[in-house]
Copies of this chain bind each other. A is one copy, B any other.
Amino acid sequence: MRQAGRSLPEYRALRAGTGMLQACLDPDLTCEITMQPVRRHGVDAAILFSDIVVPLYVAGVGVDIVPGTGPVVGHPVRTAAEVDRLPRLDIEQVTPVTDAIALLLSELGETPLIGFAGAPFTLASYLIEGGPSRNHERTKALMRSAPEVWHALLGRLADITSTFLQAQVAAGVDAVQLFDSWAGALSERDYREFVLPHSAAVLGRLADAGVPRIHFGVGTGELLGAMAEAGADVVGVDWRIPLDVAARRAGGTHPVQGNLDPAVLFADFGSVESEVRRIVAEGRRTPGHVFNLGHGVLPETDPDVVTRVVELVHDQPV
């Protein structure tokens, strides 16, 4: 479960006074934060504590994560010259992350570790808009008005993302997740023309890495087929469509991951339980199902409810 830490008092205590990027680049802290939800909830896999802008930051892009706002980029990237000036990621620059992975592998023992990176489209939106955007108007304008600049930018971001994920694989992660937070803002037509080739480049370069590739977005009901075609082994699904419908849209052969609505965790536990059982049942009608939330854990979630959900899922017959 991504962002499980946000709801944990032990996470908030550990992060007090430490910036997000600083925490992502401190191997001991990253290891401890990654371990917290594993210890507390007994989940079957850990997901690396990181942020999608980490590879940009370590490569030298001026970006900071502002509490309450999100990633803010000092100099937005909107022209061919600005794309040219983007730094490339040297694998040595991600040593703090690979050091954290090394620590985690010994801490985790048999529990698998999932690596993590943001997809080119989502990274591009932050770079073009200069920060989080609700409507992505500058991003969508650039892709149409200057497709050569657009594809050059996404090509560079695909390089950075693949380097980052390859470093994580070399360090020993057991799976990788490519996270395209904003892809759901696009029609399938635009996704296929402007985004899919670059996400496919990232996933393609990991085809021989020997680890499953999870491809995830939110509000992507129309894009599941295209996201599977991009080279995913597992397709993430939010809560808007049933898992069996999602699996058919993804081509009928891909395992799926999801799809409990994180907001359901705020209801009485009887309601949570019936949703969990429904999802497990629908997951049985797919080529394979990794139970998860359909999006990150919301900050005000009661951690005890998360623990009970994990227990409930473990109690279901396989």
A219: interface (CB < 8 Å): yes
A121 to B187, CA, bound (A): 25
- If the complex has contacts A145-B271, A219-B219, A240-B222, are A137 and B187 also in contact, measured as CB distance less than 8 A? no
Taking the nearest CB of chain B, how far is it from the CB of A40, in angstroms? 21
Taking a contact as CB atoms under 8 Å apart, the answer to whether B241 and A140 are in contact is no
Residues in B whose Cβ lies below 8 Å from that of A263: 135-137, 139-141
How many chain copies? Answer: 2
Interface residues on A, range: 20 to 34
Taking the nearest CB of chain B, how far is it from the CB of A186, in angstroms? 8
**The one of B137, B262, B266, B300 that contacts A300, using a Cβ cutoff of 8 Å:** B137
Write out, one digit per residue, whether chain A residues 275-294 have a CB within 8 A of any chain B CB (1) or not (0): 00000000000000000000
A13: interface (CB < 8 Å): no
Taking a contact as CB atoms under 8 Å apart, the answer to whether A144 and B271 are in contact is yes
Taking the nearest CB of chain B, how far is it from the CB of A300, in angstroms? 7
**The one of B138, B139, B240, B267 that contacts A144, using a Cβ cutoff of 8 Å:** B267
**The one of B139, B140, B184, B264 that contacts A140, using a Cβ cutoff of 8 Å:** B264
Taking the nearest CB of chain B, how far is it from the CB of A126, in angstroms? 16
A139 to B139, CA, bound (A): 32
Taking a contact as CB atoms under 8 Å apart, the answer to whether A241 and B222 are in contact is yes
